[in-house]
Amino acid sequence: MLKIFMVACFICLSLSVDAQKHKTRVYLLGTFHFDNPGLDVAKFENANILSSKRQNEVMEVVTKLAGVRPDMIFVEVPVSGQPRLDSNLLKYKNGSLTLNAGEVHQLGFRLAKALNLNTLYAVDYRDAEFPFDSLVTSMTEAKQFDLLGKMKSSIDSIQTAFNTSLKAKSIRELLIEQNSVAANELQVGWYFDFLAAGKEGNHIGSYLTSEWWRRNMIIYENIMKRLNGNEKTIVVLFGSAHIGILREMMKYNQNFEIIPVQTIL
Mean pLDDT of the chain, nearest integer:
91
Report the pLDDT value the prediction gives residue 45, as an integer from 0 to 100: 82
Residues 265/30, Cβ–Cβ less than 8 Å: no
pLDDT at site 126: 96
**214 close to 235: Cβ distance less than 8 angstroms:** no
Asked if pLDDT for residue 133 goes beyond 50, the answer is yes
Gap between the Cα atoms of 133 and 149, Å rounded: 15
pLDDT digits (tens, 9 = 90+) for 203-232: 999 999 999 999 999 999 999 999 999 999
Q: Quick check: 172 and 61 in contact, CB under 8 A?
A: yes
Report the pLDDT value the prediction gives residue 19, as an integer from 0 to 100.
54
pLDDT at 66 over 50: yes
- Select from 39, 122, 128 the least CA-distant residue to 87: 122
Q: Give me the pLDDT at residue 157, please.
A: 87
pLDDT value of residue 131: 95
E strand residue ranges, the chain: 24-31, 72-78, 121-124, 233-239, 256-258
pLDDT computed for residue 14 by the predictor = 47
Res. 197 pLDDT band, cuts 50 70 90: very high
Q: What is the pLDDT of residues 11-65, one digit of tens each?
A: 454 444 445 678 999 999 999 999 875 545 555 788 999 999 999 999 999 999 9
Q: Determine which of 44-48, 79-83, 123-127 has the lowest per-residue pLDDT on average.
A: 44-48
Single out the residue of 146, 241, 145, 237 nearest to residue 191, CA to CA.
241
pTM: 0.89
What's the pLDDT score for residue 40? Answer: 54
Mean pLDDT to the nearest integer, 1-17: 52
